[in-house]
């Protein structure tokens, strides 16, 4: 009798356990299955396999919940831009404006070169990466005739904003060695060198000769003294930070009046006889001649080839309508820049000028050209 009762109880327990296990496999989560097996095994002594199974399943449950907490903590870590921004005490003051720059402005060209906006995440990262390296940089400008009145203002503004903390040499090509007498006081690691240039009266003569003078200077002592060289018009003023984000093998700056215009509005040279002529299916952007540069080897090549184009037209008694800027654009179509600076780095106020998040280098000369006669007289242009 006892034996019969025990067999009946055993069958009922097995039936319950089997039913619970089947339901758990089909419909319930893994941890419910484990609890179910442990709960219904009460009247029957669990063997070692059942005990090991319960322990294994409970271990999986603990691991699952711990893994979720670890993933959540990783998601809350600081992004790379914040880490870079706080490095060595440098704090990003306006992250919201940086997000606006990144989301509303193009960040690279069609051939993959970076398009530089000074407050973009990429620019912040480049400054943080390069600011502690000792980089030798030259800034080359031509100062002849009445342009001498701009030189001190240009240098003072460069001392405040142009690559602070880096070793900078100002190369001044001038027809008057007393242009900077008395000399401008410069900061540590900064120096100035005066280079003689023959007198060039009149803008036309200057347009023919400036690129040739730049080529001669870069092929001379400059090429041995610096790693990067930038050419700039002297009638400009640095009004905002210009840092290591501008450094590249071949650097060009977008013309602010043609930045948002379609290609057919670009003032490329269209005289077929000119060596600066650009065909209708050529060209991506229109660049300004106010500010451009790069590593010494690339700038030697640029200055030499642009000089040859100018001399070729001069031999044929002609000159491109955009003067030096036309030859520069012809060269940059054939040799695309590796770094393109946004109009922040060459700007002036005119009805055609594109809006920029921040002005960094302003052309006083082009600004005067944009004024009407009355305002030119008022500003003493």
Instruction: Give the whole-angstrom CA distance, residue 173 versus residue 145.
Output: 12
Per DSSP, which regions of the chain are E strands?
115-116, 136-143, 167-174, 190-196, 228-232, 236-238, 250-254, 287-295, 339-341, 361-363
DSSP secondary structure letters along 8-71: HHHHHHHHHHHHHHHHHHHHS-HHHHHHHHHHHTTTS---HHHHHHHHHHHHHHHHHHHHHHHH
| Mode of pairing for the β-strands spanning 228-232 and 287-295 | antiparallel
First to last CA, the chain: 122
In angstroms and rounded to an integer, the radius of gyration of the C-alpha atoms of the chain is: 35
Peptide linkage before 61 cis (omega within 30 of 0): no
- What sign does the dihedral 250-239-86-80 (CA atoms) show? negative
State the angle between helix axes of 296-315 and 324-334 in degrees (0 to 180), rounded to the nearest 10: 120
231 touches 293 (CB < 8 A):
yes
User: What is the number of alpha carbons within 13 Å of residue 223 lying toward its C-beta?
Assistant: 14
Instruction: Give the whole-angstrom CA distance, residue 339 versus residue 249.
Output: 7
Catalytic residue among 244, 245, 324, 325: 325
Instruction: Give the whole-angstrom CA distance, residue 263 versus residue 256.
Output: 14
Closest of 249, 254, 255 to residue 339, by C-alpha = 249
- What sign does the dihedral 128-129-132-134 (CA atoms) show? negative
310 touches 335 (CB < 8 A):
no
Tokens of 252: 């060009």
The length of the chain, given as a count of residues: 381
7 counts as catalytic: no
**Catalytic site residues?**
325
């Amino acid at each position: 009798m006892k034996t019969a009762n025990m067999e009946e109880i055993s069958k009922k327990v097995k039936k319950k356990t089997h039913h619970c296990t089947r339901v758990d496999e089909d419909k319930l989560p893994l941890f419910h299955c484990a609890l179910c097996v442990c709960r219904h095994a009460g009247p029957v002594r669990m063997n070692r396999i059942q005990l090991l199974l319960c322990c294994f399943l409970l271990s999986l449950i603990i691991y699952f919940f711990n893994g979720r907490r670890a993933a959540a903590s990783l998601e809350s870590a600081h992004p790379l831009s914040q880490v870079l921004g706080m490095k060595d005490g440098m704090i990003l003051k306006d992250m919201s404006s940086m997000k606006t720059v990144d989301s509303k402005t193009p960040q690279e060209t069609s051939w993959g070169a970076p398009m530089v906006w000074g407050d973009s995440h990429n620019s912040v990262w480049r400054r943080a990466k390069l600011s502690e390296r000792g980089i030798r940089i030259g800034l080359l400008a031509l100062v002849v005739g009445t342009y001498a009145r701009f030189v001190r203002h240009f240098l003072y503004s460069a001392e405040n904003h142009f690559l602070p903390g880096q070793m900078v040499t100002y190369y001044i090509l001038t027809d008057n060695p007393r242009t900077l007498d008395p000399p401008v006081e410069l900061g540590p690691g900064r120096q100035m060198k005066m280079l003689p240039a023959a007198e060039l009266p009149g803008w036309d003569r200057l347009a023919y000769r400036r690129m040739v003078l730049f080529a001669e200077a870069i092929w001379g002592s400059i090429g041995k003294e610096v790693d990067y060289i930038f050419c700039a018009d002297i009638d400009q003023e640095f009004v905002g930070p210009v840092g290591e984000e501008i450094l590249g093998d071949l650097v060009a700056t977008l013309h602010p009046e043609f930045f948002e215009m379609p290609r057919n509005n670009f003032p490329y040279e269209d005289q077929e006889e000119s060596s600066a002529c650009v065909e209708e299916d050529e060209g991506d952007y229109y660049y300004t001649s106010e500010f451009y540069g790069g590593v010494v080897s690339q700038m030697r090549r640029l200055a030499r080839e642009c000089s040859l184009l100018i001399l070729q037209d001069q031999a044929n008694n002609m000159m491109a309508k955009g003067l030096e800027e036309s030859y520069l654009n012809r060269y940059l179509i054939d040799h695309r820049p590796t770094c393109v600076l946004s109009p922040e780095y060459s700007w002036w106020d005119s009805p055609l000028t594109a809006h920029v998040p921040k002005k960094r280098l302003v052309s006083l000369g082009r600004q005067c050209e944009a004024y009407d006669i009355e305002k030119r007289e008022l500003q003493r242009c």
